[in-house]
Chain A
Amino acid sequence: MNRFLAAFSLTAALVRAQDARHIMQEVQDRARANSQRYEGTLKVIDSKNKISEKRWTYDRIGSAGGSKVVIRFSAPAEVKGVALLVVNHPERSSDQWMWTPALQRDRRIAFQDRSTRFFGTDFSFEDLEERDASQYDYKILGEETVNGALCWKLESRPKKSKSSQYTHAHIWVGKARYVFEKIESFHDGKLIRRLIYSDYQKIQNIWTPLTMEIEEVGRKSKTILNTEKLQYNVPLKDGQFTLQALRRES
């Protein structure tokens, strides 16, 4: 799956195949790591250039379609402790729960709500999940240069069309490093979201974008995620990625 979170697990590797599926598999393989942690700053710039900022810590265990993620907000004070648990499944939509410490309540994010925006950002809840690259069909549309990097331009379509708000996406993969440079997601030919990756750094041998900019087209706002203290293969336990743990740790 090629959502933005997948981008953190890109690894540099040799080109094994030139067809679209192989390119995507290579992107996924190069980014593969057993776990990941970073601190993120999320900035939303609205149509009037008003900026609001929020911080979170991000923990992931597993990779590709089988990963689990806990996002825990740390700032501002009003949202501190609010956590989101995402349990990905290779072949279907993820399960997502939210924990609100002030209410001492967890709540399920229903499948019906996955296309709604993730708390005022330009992301949707669906954009938080990842699926295995094998769940999509790909084809190469051509080559283009993005941010000065020469890219393949690919088209991806989910095999089970009903599981996503998007009908297809255009993906620009940098030829040199096998990393995403840009993703545009469509619904029936209409562009819904545009995602641009930048500030690539090689961390623990994985090319990692430290900045991502996402824009829900037509809303005139954008969301910028900056990552810090990013680490791969940190010692995390499976038990930390459960509802119980979510409740316990708040």
Chain B
Amino acid sequence: MMLLRLLTWPYVRKHKLRTILTIAGIALGVIVFVGMRTANDSVLYGFQQTVDRLAGKAQLQISSGETGFPEEVLERVQALPEVDVAVPVIEATVKTGLPGQGNILILGVDMTGDRSLRQYEFEEGDESFIDDPLVFLAQPDSLMVTSEFAAHNHLATGGKISFDTMIGPRQFTIRGIMKSGGLASAFGGNLAIMDIYAAQKVFGRGRGFDRIDLKLKPDVSLAKGQSALEALLGSGYQIEPPSSRGKQFESISRIFSIGASLNSAFALLIGLFIIYNTFAIAVTQRRSEIGILRSLGASRRQVRGLFLLESAILGLTGSILGIVFGLLMARGMANYVSSLFGEIYGVAQRVETVAADPKIIALALGIGVATSMLAAWLPARDASQVDPAKALHKGAYESFTAEEGRLRLIGAACFLAAAAVCLFLRGAEGLRLYAGYLSVVLAAILLAPAMVRCLVAALRPLLRSLLPVEGALAAGSLIQSPRRTSATVVAVMLSISLVVGLGGVSNSSYQSLMGWMNNVLNPDLFVAASEQISDRGFRFPASIGDELRRMDFIDEVQMVRTARVRFRGAPVMIVAVTIDSLARRVHPQVVAGDPSRMYREAAAGRGVLFADSLARLKGVELGDTVEIPSPAGVLKLPVVGITIDYSDQQGAILMDRSVFVRNWKDDTVNLFRVYLTKGTTAGEGKRRILAQLGARNRLFVLTNDQVRRFILRVTDQWFSLTYMQIFVAVLVAVLGIVNSLTVSITDRRRELAVLQAVGGLRRQVRQAVWMEAMAIALVSVLLGLALGAVILFYYIGIIREEIAGVRLEYEYPVRIALALIPAMIAVAFLSALGPAESAVRSSLVEALEYE
């Protein structure tokens, strides 16, 4: 500790900027980690919290995916001797239309029985109104809201709010106000209770329920109750404790959290190099100090300990800052992520609190400190091996020893070999891809110094031809001190490769998505029950389809019902549509199966079509017979075709409407795909549909263009989170450049002073610094672009095999690459401005005497 105070503190004080940059390097990695994780967890937690609050005392919930099931199930469940109380539930969110309120979650329940499961606490007095409970039931416009919601919107008992229902726009009367806390705090307090039979009408549920919540008899164990219910209902139903709904949601949105984890790992890796860089430099600069220490009797262990302790302190400081800012970022991001999830997955959730999860914080601290110490390990070892006798002589110790260079090359060769082996391995796709990816990155890191040397040597003539002295100086500086530059180059290279990889992925994704939209998304109009096409809370009765069909300006109507069901343990989207009509209109990219045969079979109910991505994720192949649970029992159908389909992020199972109606006993519709007759414009069609149906029904008519724009907007938002992380990665890399340059300037004070002493103008000195920065940037970018090409290959593989199952074309993002070169050079130039000024402003005399 004494050593720390005597030696480290003065150094830190002298190199404030560099210390700050180092801390920032760690902090940024931690920010991304904590921010993304916390935002993601807050959304998941918000969802689970709402689920828990809504569940009340319910021990088990019976559902059949999202499809719901017929009312009769309730009586059978209630009659089971193991069941104490079982109550039906319908759940949906609607736009309140009230300023600043967003969505409200409406829970349809049977008030007579529900109170034995859920605690409804009323505002004082209300309960004893005899009118209340009976009037509540008698009037289908009755709504009970939370006191919080009522207060926010200046509503009282008897107040009205209105929204569109499946039976047209309706006004609802507030007939009860729940005290806040418990149930009433679910969904952030934006909760309303409605009679379940009224909810059936309002949300177009026919005679079905979404869910049954139940409590078992006191002496019945959860497992026993579960198996009794399974025996009663068969495998078409999910009987699970409320807590498992969070896991289901997690599995739907897992792509997001995998992406977030990968990217924050990458950000930390880049941070690692910044720290390595700082410590490598510090050890170099403090060689004489270390030599003195050693000659005064400090042991190697003490010296190494000193540096590791320093790194731990830096890591800790960076981590704490990262956690603080990460949590701030999470606060800002959570709602964004939440609404994005709502739009992509159509799952109602609301972030209630963005709380710091102690586990994440501990992990972030651990990762930050560990990364920092890991990064400092080699420099600390070098420091401990400083020879006290030689330490005072200045020499070319910033270059690597020949042996180190050889070791690096051997290591790189090994990793490359490993990557090559991985390429040809069969089986264990995920492992092979991750291992290959890691090997390539490690090989690139090891090879970086050698590559820098080659590239700089190649660049030297170019630089010299631009500005002879400055160019030669810049190139020479880079060649002579690989230790100083290589870590920075690695950091920049990694972040550039990340940009190329992610940029390539997003480019290909957009292309693939556009292709799908052009092939499949071709109706003129979409008639939806919700503003958001992904929201499945409201459903049309099938009769609306007939009404649409009768309109003379409509050529063809396809009825679409989408719902998530449980398939092989995880929620999967089913799209039920009239296949023969679909087959006439759309031409998806067929991956496996004969196009005309597969539609014939599917239309006849003799098979289902799988999205390519889903088939890949679930290991489903053409000809397999898949088992899909439905309320009528397990549906066994062969896979007759595999196509490219982005109806859902994970892909969907396409089946004929008749199969769905038969097995789910549900003929409701989410969406009508409407083709207009020739000569009818979309605008005109929309206007006429609204004119004929709008008054009596809740419906939203979207033009093809609007739907495309919606999909592209959501996709943009999705990738914008990725871009934000890229931005952080680049920022980290820029910190690296600044760091490297400040060090370079300090190291070369004397050299730069000589330059001025023999007649170099300030302009010329500045230019030398700038050129060095730009050379670092150029070299790093070139390496990064090359590594990016390889990384993109792995990303596409990992996305295909592990994350989303999506088949993306490998296409190098040339435009991004071309844009990166000038952008990074410009960034390097900007980051060199400060160091260059400090170089020309320092005292010449001091610099010349600098030793």
Contact = CB atoms under 8 A, between A and B. Distances in A.
A and B touching (C-beta < 8 Å)? yes
Interface of A: 42, 44, 46-48, 50, 52-54, 73, 76, 78-79, 81-82, 98, 100-103, 105, 107-113, 116-117, 119-121, 125, 221, 223
B128 A47 contact: yes
Contact of A102 (B128, B133, B140): B140
B139 A78 contact: yes
A119 B113 contact: no
A103 B128 contact: no
Contacts of B116: 112-113, 116
A44 B112 contact: no
Contacts of A120: 127-134
Nearest to A52: B130
A244 to B, nearest CB: 17
A119 B84 contact: no
19 contacts: A46-B128, A46-B129, A48-B128, A52-B130, A52-B131, A54-B130, A54-B134, A76-B135, A78-B138, A79-B131, A79-B135, A82-B138, A102-B140, A110-B75, A112-B113, A113-B116, A116-B112, A116-B116, A120-B128
Interface residues of B, number: 28
B681 to A, nearest CB: 40
B140 A78 contact: no
Interface of B: 75, 78, 84-86, 110, 112-113, 115-116, 125, 127-135, 137-140, 195, 197-198, 201
A54 B132 CA distance: 11
A48 B130 contact: no
Nearest to A47: B128
B605 to A, nearest CB: 33
B756 to A, nearest CB: 91
A72 B134 CA distance: 12
B128 A42 contact: no
Nearest to A115: B116
A52 B78 contact: no
Contacts of A119: 130, 133-134, 137
Nearest to A43: B130
A82 B134 contact: yes
Task: Please provide the 10 A-B residue pairs with the shortest distance between their CB atoms, ordered closest to farther.
Answer: A46-B128, A119-B134, A44-B130, A52-B130, A113-B113, A119-B133, A120-B130, A79-B138, A78-B135, A120-B133
Contacts of A112: 78, 84-86, 113, 116
A98 B127 CA distance: 21
A8 B729 CA distance: 84
A110 B113 contact: yes
Nearest to B200: A105
What is the predominant secondary structure among interface residues of chain B facing chain A?
helix
B115 to A, nearest CB: 6
B1 to A, nearest CB: 68
A78 B125 CA distance: 20
B130 to A, nearest CB: 4
Given A44-B130, A79-B135, A107-B197, A116 B113 contact: yes
A52 B134 CA distance: 12
Contacts of A42: 130
Contacts of A50: 125, 128-129
Nearest to B78: A110
The winner among B130, B133, B140 for most chain A CB atoms within 10 A is B130
Contacts of B135: 76, 78-79
Given A108-B75, A116-B112, A54 B131 contact: yes
A247 B135 CA distance: 19
Contacts of A101: 138
A121 B130 CA distance: 6
Nearest to B75: A108
Nearest to A110: B78
Contacts of B201: 103
Contacts of A81: 138
A50 B198 CA distance: 29
Contacts of A105: 197
Contacts of A44: 128, 130
A81 B125 CA distance: 26
A82 B140 CA distance: 12
A200 to B, nearest CB: 26
A172 to B, nearest CB: 27
B128 A221 contact: yes
A119 B133 CA distance: 5
B112 A109 contact: yes
A102 B134 CA distance: 12
Contacts of A108: 75
